[in-house]
Structure 1
């Protein structure tokens, strides 16, 4: 059996290394016509993918393997008859690293220290610890689990929330309906849910109003999970703090008020943008190729258009 795989560029090709016999690699970033009438596995580009998925209508394929975990908007952009897999297992670790980095930097005042150093000032100040804080983790999927694993050594009290209440090997998971009673006791709230009609603007004015004075909101999921105007109102009053890797709109246009909002730490959607990405993406793709060669079902299928 032989299969054809299209890759969007040379970086992933280099990371894949030697392929088994019968695997033909092509280069296609979906910006032009397909290089073949049939491609067994199509890997779209990592960024700016939605606008290119229409190119799949010009090719038959057995699997489209995304390089992202999130797939909001993909269903509407896919031509019919497509099997679409996300990149679960690729970005969770790096995204969790960034979430913890944003928490630590915000708690310990790192942005203020950096700005003071840029001005040539020695500006010591006592800040809040991460130790002994209550962290409310909203979302217990792959990213949420990775964040939890990294928070536990910091001696925090982690409270978890998911769509439905249940227990697992690490304890109780509360239902999302419990948020109003849980938010007032949280020092830090980490958002790690996928974007869906149910989670769009989950963090709205009422959600933010329920957070305690001085609490920190951390969003590493999707920008539209948070109501930007409601968050800006709380930041401008000085009541809440925020650390965001994702925003709505995204990218932020020049001069957007989030850039200059007080108590804000902003990173430009780089949760998965680390050196870990390509080796892990290559590992996932090799597994998908080997599965197809064996006649097994692919991993991580999230859509069938």
Structure 2
């Protein structure tokens, strides 16, 4: 194989890459590393704007595979219509589960136990005592029960919860219990003390957490978003936060990055982290193992992992 492979990680830093392809390093720079028409396997730059990620796509007339290094694919979807039929789009399932689940648990515990208040009190030299909510005996609802949602539940398991409810696109059964379809959300929301969003951003989930969704949440409930910002209607969430009826912990926002003057920064009862679920020390070794494995499969014409859709097919339409 003499086709080009574009990588956002220098190829010399990735152990185990197969011989054969010409490896080109490109992480979103203005100049392309080679003619995009020669690229057969494009690994999309990680944590870069959507317009940058899709910029080479109109010129990639020979591309066969798009590989993201994120679990979500929403940032490349705007460019898929510019590709020829038959291009496989793969995500990074297996790379982000541990880090994202870790952060989810951190956000839940920090919010319930009042860690932001303690940090501010420490800055003032103030001993801030009093009772705080515990995670023990709470009911948690996980909206978006893919591999990340399952990893979140794995880490919640030791915390003596009263109940975990799971929601995904369609009904199914897992070893931990039933997964409810999205249509059953209205009946599940009033029972949850903590609602965790870990769903991909699709047309079905954009604006899913609207005024009606939030109104169905019980008084004092915590909303945790580790999915994508546009899953939540920011204006509707702000209205609930301002009343003090709900609290929120957000790793993603809409807009993102959140502008300095945005009212969400100053809303009561909200903890915001800067889309920090994926970029940790766990990312690079897992990403490099995925790429080496995928490229061996590609070179040897074996089935690829994590194929989300194929352009031009009914699944990719």
Superposed CA offset, 1:89-119 (max 9, x none)? 1111111110100000011111110100011
Superposed CA offset, 1:243-266 (max 9, x none)? 000111111112101100000000
1:94 match: 99
Counterpart of 1:160 (choices 163, 166, 169) is: 166
Q: Displacement of 1:34 after TM fit?
A: 4.6
Mapped to 1, the partners of 2:107 and 2:125 lie a distance apart of 24
Mapped to 2, the partners of 1:15 and 1:224 lie a distance apart of 35
Counterpart of 1:65 (choices 41, 62, 67) is: 67
1:171 match: 177
Structure 2 unaligned residues grouped into runs of 5+: 312-317
1:223 match: 229
Q: Displacement of 1:209 after TM fit?
A: 0.8
Range with greater deviation from structure 2 (122-131 or 53-62): 53-62
Q: Displacement of 1:14 after TM fit?
A: 5.2
Give the count of matched residue pairs.
303
Q: 1:199 to 1:178 in 2, by over 3 A?
A: same
1:76 match: 78
Mapped to 2, the partners of 1:300 and 1:220 lie a distance apart of 20
Mapped to 2, the partners of 1:287 and 1:220 lie a distance apart of 27
Q: Displacement of 1:163 after TM fit?
A: 2.1
Q: Displacement of 1:18 after TM fit?
A: 4.7
Mapped to 1, the partners of 2:255 and 2:176 lie a distance apart of 36
Mapped to 2, the partners of 1:145 and 1:123 lie a distance apart of 35
Mapped to 2, the partners of 1:250 and 1:102 lie a distance apart of 18
Superposed CA offset, 1:14-66 (max 9, x none)? 54125333243221235323514412322121022421313132232221211
TM value normalised by structure 2? 0.90
Range with greater deviation from structure 2 (21-30 or 274-283): 21-30
Structure 1 unaligned residues grouped into runs of 5+: none
Mapped to 1, the partners of 2:88 and 2:16 lie a distance apart of 26
Q: 1:247 to 1:149 in 2, by over 3 A?
A: same
Mapped to 2, the partners of 1:91 and 1:23 lie a distance apart of 27
RMSD: 1.7
Mapped to 2, the partners of 1:242 and 1:110 lie a distance apart of 13
- Three-state SS of the structure 2 residue aligned to 1:61 is coil
Mapped to 2, the partners of 1:15 and 1:199 lie a distance apart of 37
> Is 1:130 aligned to 2:111, yes or no?
no
2:314 match: none
1:27 match: 25
1:43 match: 43
Q: 1:292 to 1:9 in 2, by over 3 A?
A: closer
Q: Is the 8 A contact 1:7 1:29 kept in 2?
A: yes
TM value normalised by structure 1? 0.94
Q: Is the 8 A contact 1:15 1:278 kept in 2?
A: no
Q: Displacement of 1:129 after TM fit?
A: 0.6
> Is 1:185 aligned to 2:188, yes or no?
no
2:306 match: 300
Q: Displacement of 1:200 after TM fit?
A: 1.1
